[in-house]
A and B are shown apart, each in its own frame.
Chain A
Amino acid sequence: MRVGVFKGSLIFLSLLVTGLLILAVGSLFLVPEWAEVWADLSSPEMLFSLRLSISTACISASMVMVVAVPMGFALSRFRFWGQGLVRTVVDLPVAFPELVLGLCLLLLFGKNGFGDFLDSLGLSLVFSKQGVVAAQFFTALPYAVRIMKSTFDYINPRMEFVSRSLGYTLFETFLRVSLPLAKNGVLAALVISFARCLGTFGTVLILAGGSYMHTETLPITLYLNISYGNMGMALTSGILLVAVSFLAIFIFEKTETSI
């Protein structure tokens, strides 16, 4: 009987929280006037925000993958000096508040030696669109590295050993064995990174600034319009964020099952 009550409580708790989440997301779609949403969607601010969000998220997520795949492989396969440090530092932003991460990046890329050096290369990361990409990159990277490391951990290293014994170099083995076997992980990391980049708020706000129609991504649009009391635009940007995230997850699911 006690087991039944315990089991029932767990199921009830799961259903209750899921229900609340569905209600919360559902209210985003139930509260607004749809005519207003359509009008807001075609507003110059929303179109700018959507375009900037999608383009920066695509660039950032691609950059994240270019770094996360080799990092995940290195952390999974090699033992090297400073490995623990790399793992901890890369993981830190997962636990960091985004605002603090943004502040750290602002200090790094601001008016100091390193920031000036990047400036001289024409790469100004503070209060700029490049800054949006940098903020998204550093926010999403830890998640992608974690996914890639677990993906490579899961692949039997003996397959790579055998490949090497058959004449393939480590790099060739990586391309012919490790990467093809990690394709689901790569796809998962890409989708998570994209969704994370798209939704990054605090880091973008601090490093790139929340400038109207300049560094305004969808989360910033939501924030700015809430601040002005413009609920219609805020809700529309929220709906767009949810819709794009759902689309990303949907494409991921479809692609994964077809692989």
Chain B
Amino acid sequence: MSFLRLSGLRIDLGEFSLNGVSLDLEKGEYLGVIGPTGAGKTILLECIIGFYRPQSGRVWLEGTDITDLAPEKRRIGIVYQDYALLPHLNVFKNIAYGLRKAKIGREALEAKVRAMAEVLGIDRLLHRSPETLSGGEQQRTALARALVVEPRLLLMDEPLSALDAQTRAETRGLLREVVRGRGATVIHITHDLDDVWALADRVAVMRGGEVIQHGGLDQVFSRPASRFVADFVDTVFFEGTVQSCGQGLSAVSVNGLTLETLDQAVVGSRVRLALRPETVVVSRARPAGVSARNLIAARVEDIVPNGKTSQLILRSGETRFPALVTQGSLEDMEIQKDAEVFALVKAGCLRIVRENGLSR
């Protein structure tokens, strides 16, 4: 049995519900959970930790059924978006809160708190009241409080979403170093795909109280099981007809464009091709001697800046598709709206998604 097993969790809290969630997570894995607001992500965490008891379904941790176990006996840690620090205790006492219950002796307790605070860079703030801390410092304190008791499983509910962009990037780095570095088993709810890319081994997409797709990052991002998932993870679909299949390549005709993919398909069948914007390479001049199988002449229809990157909306004939380029590349290549460019896509980056997997 896997380290964490959720089987058929159902609960109806009126506004939020779970409608039969099943998931498996191995020890040391980091699962990112994404989905729109109201998808049931937080309720899922709160069922795992035991704040809500599912109306049906079971939660297994390390081979033991913990569905009916009180939260205080589960040894599962949680970090919330709003930190949930105890305002009547200072930073030291907040971090030490769980250790005091463990009754480990004063010196050991102090040593553990100080060591954890040092790792998270908040060792100078131990005497401070939580309300005097910045958002990033509060989140580090909440993380320290959860980690210092060495939980079997760590749950994080949008831990970075209340932080500004720079602090978010810093804290994400810290999570990678501290949480991933310790080999902790984690479920991390997020709205930010960058969190998933940077931290997670696996990803689960939730909607309407159900996990509609889960698996490795490549599996979910490159082969979304539904249009909803595709939209949510910024994957683009092209519809086309398979023209040929052989020698490890399939050629698919999409609105007059012929695109080659490594995936096999029946000649003449209608398929959908999934493409991720960050896999598209853009060039001003026609590139020669490149290995990419798909070379598409396109016009830049729009440029959407997004922090350090920009999304180019490219059009080739009737086909529109996005490409992600850095701000630096955009300036180096002097690409502006209506510029003529070439888009390169490797055959391995175009994935065939079966027609029957694309219901909304």
The residue that B145 contacts in the complex, of A158, A164, A166, A172, with Cβ under 8 A, is A166
| CA of A166 to CA of B148, assembled, Å | 10
| CA of A161 to CA of B76, assembled, Å | 11
**A-facing mask of B303-344, CB < 8 A → 1, else 0?**
000000000000000000000000000000000000000000
**A-facing mask of B86-115, CB < 8 A → 1, else 0?**
111000000001100110000000000000
A161-B51, A161-B71, A180-B88 known; A166-B149 Cβ under 8 A = yes
Whether a CB of chain B sits under 8 angstroms from the CB of A242 is no
| CA of A158 to CA of B145, assembled, Å | 14
A159-B86, A180-B88 known; A169-B70 Cβ under 8 A = yes
**B-facing mask of A200-216, CB < 8 A → 1, else 0?**
00000000000000000
Contact (Cβ within 8 A) A166 B84: no
The residues of B that contact A165 with a CB separation of less than 8 Å are 49, 71-72, 74, 76-78, 146, 151
The residues of B that contact A167 with a CB separation of less than 8 Å are 72, 75, 98, 101-102, 149
Whether a CB of chain A sits under 8 angstroms from the CB of B301 is no
The residues of A that contact B71 with a CB separation of less than 8 Å are 161, 164-165
The residues of B that contact A23 with a CB separation of less than 8 Å are none
Whether a CB of chain B sits under 8 angstroms from the CB of A177 is yes
**A-facing mask of B57-92, CB < 8 A → 1, else 0?**
000000000000011101111101010111110000
Contact (Cβ within 8 A) B149 A161: no
A161-B46, A161-B49 known; A169-B72 Cβ under 8 A = yes
**Closest Cβ–Cβ distance, residue B139 to chain A (whole Å):** 13
| CA of A169 to CA of B101, assembled, Å | 10
Most chain A CB neighbours (cut-off 10 Å) among B72, B82, B85? B72
Contact (Cβ within 8 A) B82 A161: no
Most chain B CB neighbours (cut-off 10 Å) among A161, A163, A180? A161
Contact (Cβ within 8 A) B97 A166: yes
The residues of A that contact B74 with a CB separation of less than 8 Å are 165
**A-facing mask of B144-165, CB < 8 A → 1, else 0?**
0110010100000000000000
Contact (Cβ within 8 A) A158 B88: no
Contact (Cβ within 8 A) B49 A163: no
The residues of B that contact A177 with a CB separation of less than 8 Å are 86
Contact (Cβ within 8 A) A162 B102: no
The residue that A161 contacts in the complex, of B70, B84, B85, with Cβ under 8 A, is B84
The residues of B that contact A166 with a CB separation of less than 8 Å are 72, 77, 97-98, 101, 145, 149
| CA of A168 to CA of B151, assembled, Å | 14
Interface residues on A, range: 10 to 19
Contact (Cβ within 8 A) B87 A162: no
**B-facing mask of A150-182, CB < 8 A → 1, else 0?**
000000101101111111110010000100110
The residues of B that contact A162 with a CB separation of less than 8 Å are 78, 80, 84, 86, 145
The residues of A that contact B85 with a CB separation of less than 8 Å are 159
**Closest Cβ–Cβ distance, residue A255 to chain B (whole Å):** 16
The residues of B that contact A169 with a CB separation of less than 8 Å are 70, 72
The residues of A that contact B76 with a CB separation of less than 8 Å are 165
Contact (Cβ within 8 A) A158 B70: no
| CA of A168 to CA of B70, assembled, Å | 10
| CA of A161 to CA of B83, assembled, Å | 12
| CA of A101 to CA of B85, assembled, Å | 44
Contact (Cβ within 8 A) B51 A164: yes
Most chain A CB neighbours (cut-off 10 Å) among B50, B51, B70? B51
The residues of B that contact A180 with a CB separation of less than 8 Å are 88
A177-B86, A181-B87 known; A164-B80 Cβ under 8 A = no
* 14 sampled A-B residue pairs with Cβ under 8 A: A156-B82, A158-B80, A159-B84, A161-B84, A162-B80, A163-B86, A165-B49, A165-B71, A165-B74, A166-B72, A166-B149, A167-B98, A177-B86, A181-B86
Chain B residues with a Cβ under 8 A of chain A: 46, 49-51, 70-72, 74-78, 80, 82, 84-88, 97-98, 101-102, 145-146, 149, 151
